[in-house]
Amino acid sequence: MQELLLNWKINITENEKITDTAHRINQAYVIKKTSSELNMIKNTGILKALKEVSFPVPEVIVTSLGEDYVTVEKAYYMVTEEIKGEHLKAEDVIRDSKQSFKVGQVIARTSKWLKGD
């Protein structure tokens, strides 16, 4: 992991597994892995586009070469800043009708915005 993070010039002092595909690094960054380059391109593009319109999403940290992600042995990695808070879980949204409504509104606005409507 340390060798991988040298692409971003990040030295690991703390490494916490969040999911099978994401780790929290130094309580400041999150490194995410996918096996699909298309998914990585979509993810980085959506995060950057939402950030540009002040949507509260983590910033994509570019590599020391100015790239959004790196490829290592058919796996694609990106680093984002960590945003403090808890992950939104589907079961929590389903139980809370106000939260469900808000999430629905955000999804509808985001979908509409991504389509260019």
**pLDDT of amino acid 94:** 73
DSSP state of 74: T
Structure-block tokens of residue 77: 């990695």
Q: Quick one: average pLDDT of 34-61?
A: 87
Give the pLDDT band (50/70/90) at residue 63.
Answer: very high
Instruction: Parse the chain into domains and list their residue ranges.
Output: 2-85, 86-117
* pTM for this predicted structure: 0.75
Element (H, E) at 45: helix 37-52
CATH fold for the domain made of 2-85:
Phosphorylase Kinase; domain 1 (3.30.200)
Contact 12, 3 (CB under 8 A): no
**Average model confidence (pLDDT) for the chain?**
86
For the chain, percent of residues with pLDDT exceeding 70: 90
pLDDT tens for each residue of 2-45:
899 999 999 999 999 999 999 999 999 999 999 999 999 988 98
**pLDDT of amino acid 116:** 66
Cβ within 8 Å of residue 67, ≥6 positions away: none
Element (H, E) at 91: helix 90-95
Q: Which of 71, 19, 76 is nearest to 43 (CA)?
A: 76
Structure-block tokens of residue 15: 């490494």
Q: Residue 74 pLDDT more than 90?
A: yes
